[in-house]
A = this chain, B = another copy of it.
Amino acid sequence: MAFPKKKLQGLVAATITPMTENGEINFSVIGQYVDYLVKEQGVKNIFGKSTLGMSLHVSSSVFRRYILPGYQLDQVIIHVGALSLKESQELAQHAAEIGADGIAVIAPFFLKPWTKDILINFLKEVAAAAPALPFYYYHIPALTGVKIRAEELLDGILDKIPTFQGLKFSDTDLLDFGQCVDQNRQQQFAFLFGVDEQLLSALVMGATGAVGSTYNYLGKKTNQMLEAFEQKDFSLALNYQSCFLIYFSRLGFGVSQTKAIMTLVSGIPMGPPRLPLQKASREFTDSAEAKLKSLDFLSFTDLKDGNLEVGS
């Protein structure tokens, strides 16, 4: 089958791994979590960071659970970054085996400094390990230290990686993002923006979707923003973005905070973060709950279960 395959559309939630209070993965709520994303938040794609905090084996088991028949997810993209090429290739093969819809590959941490050729060669070797899976280049220079512009990299990637199907762009250089979009507009690639709090600015530059952790609990609101944008009601779109700007950026986007907020908003117990991170404090949770109530945000929970008791 030729590339591009089915285009990734709309919002993609960076998954939160639910855990028990003992620090084990809580497989029992994954079904409920997926259901919540699709039905309550209108988010049909997920982005899984497969190596964070899990051995290869556990990681596989986790993502297999998201891909069970009966779930209504459109696409499951798995991030296969690792500390070596070999491990990244194994993760890519594994993603193919469990039926993922694509892999996302980041510049490796273990080799610095980069040249363009070394980086593209690395990406190509990972892509080749899963030749039937769509390949997404995940550009996040603040984390990887890559100084080469995405636009310049895309030229080489398109040349060498036939499975390329999109870009996850996590940076604020919207000129670079815009040039990526502009030069590849004819093709069915996905241009996914990864800085949640600036999504509206990226939409205007041609973003076709977005990947982020906030879409776990802000998916519905963000979908309303996308719709307002589509209908050219900018002041409404900006209103959604501003509401988000003011409240959630102040709560924070760390793992602990995200888990606490998601638990409050969805009613699904996401559990503590992994060590060495600490659970969000009772103080944080109380203050977040008050803010969410004042924003009428806990109505998401109401929708789900007709019940104002959340996070308990």
Residues of A within 8 A of B (CB): 51-55, 82-87, 108-112, 118-119, 121-122, 125, 143, 172-175, 178-179, 182-183, 195, 197-198, 200-206, 232, 234, 237-238, 241-242, 245-246, 249, 255, 274-278
Decide: A85 and B276 in contact? CB cutoff 8 A.
yes
**Interface CB pairs A-B, < 8 A, 5:** A51-B83, A112-B143, A118-B276, A172-B174, A206-B238
Q: Report if A275-B121 is in contact (Cβ < 8 Å); known contacts: A83-B83, A143-B112, A234-B204.
A: yes
In the complex formed, the residue of B with least CB distance to A124 is B276
In the complex formed, the residue of B with least CB distance to A201 is B201
Decide: A234 and B237 in contact? CB cutoff 8 A.
no
Q: How far is the CB of A197 from chain B (nearest CB, A)?
A: 4
Q: How many copies does the complex hold?
A: 4
Q: How far is the CB of A18 from chain B (nearest CB, A)?
A: 17
Decide: A55 and B87 in contact? CB cutoff 8 A.
yes
Residues of B close to A195: CB separation below 8 A: 175
Q: How far is the CB of A47 from chain B (nearest CB, A)?
A: 16
Residue among A143, A172, A183, A277 facing the most chain B CB atoms (10 A cut-off):
A172
In the complex formed, the residue of B with least CB distance to A120 is B276
A200–B229 Cα distance when bound, in Å, is: 14
A100–B197 Cα distance when bound, in Å, is: 37
